[in-house]
Structure 1
Amino acid sequence: MAGANPSLESGASTLQFYNNDMVKCIDDLCSRRDDINKQLKEDFDEKDRLHNDIRILTTRLAKLNELIAQRMASRIEFDKNIVEVQAAYTKIMDTSQSLIQSVRGASLQLKLKEAVASGNESILKLPKAGGKRDLTSRK
């Protein structure tokens, strides 16, 4: 075959070139597919992490909402107790004031009786009758 046909050799080399080019293209496509697969795996891993984070945060949020509800109920109870205590304190203060006025009145009555009994009306230190000034006329 020393005298092989040059067009056959040229066709074979062209075919070899196309074959090599096709293998290169297929290898390139496989490499790009592997890159996409790697990216997909990373995306799915991140998605799983995010789902886990959401689950954890949802649980924490539910616990926090429960704690807030308990504290708000406690605050309402405190507000109610404060109102009741303030009302009771006001009643105590009013009663104390009435008691003080009653004791002062009784003390004054006792002083009057004592003064009348001893004949010493000067200890009463009452203002003299007619000693009032006319505040309407200014001179």
Structure 2
Amino acid sequence: MSTKQGAALQNYNNELVKCLEELSHRRQKLQKQIQDEESVKQQLESQMVKLRQELDSVEVSLRGKHDTLDKYNATIAESEQAYLKILESSQVLLNVLKRDAQTLDRTDAQG
């Protein structure tokens, strides 16, 4: 093997080592990025679980409150209807009393 061939081989070897070192460096960098993103992914998944649990809890609470609100609305509507009936009855009673009082006044005035 000549000196030129040996020098060329040495140059190729040096370049090959540099390329391998660069590829190794890129691989390490990529592995670090993957680890970082996996960590973020795990944190986000954990947060999602917590948020889903909180959402479920709020939905249950809201359903109960909506049911209670419906009961309030029904009770108020029934009470208002009953109150209107009482008012109507009171008005009828007042009219009857006034009419009877007038009748009694006329009878008393005649007698």
Q: Mark yes or no: TM-score above 0.5.
A: yes
2:43 is aligned, of 49, 53, 68, to 49
In the TM superposition, structure 1's runs of 4+ consecutive aligned residues that sit over 6 Å from their partners are: none
- Structure 2 counterpart SS, 1:84: helix
Distance 1:18 1:84 in 2: 96
Distance 1:95 1:11 in 2: 122
How many residues end up aligned between the 2 structures? Answer: 111
TM-score by length of 2: 0.92
> Is the radius of gyration larger for structure 1 or structure 2?
1
What CA RMSD, in Å, does the superposition of the two structures yield over aligned residues? 1.2
Correspondence for 1:132: none
Correspondence for 1:11: 5
Correspondence for 1:21: 15
Distance 2:109 2:20 in 1: 129
Deviation at 1:9, TM superposition (A): 2.0
Higher relative contact order (CA 8 A, sep 6+): 1
TM-score by length of 1: 0.75
Q: Which runs of 5+ in 2 are unaligned?
A: none
Query: Which structure shows the bigger proportion of residues in helix conformation?
Result: 2
Q: Which runs of 5+ in 1 are unaligned?
A: 1-6, 118-139
Identity of aligned residues (%): 25
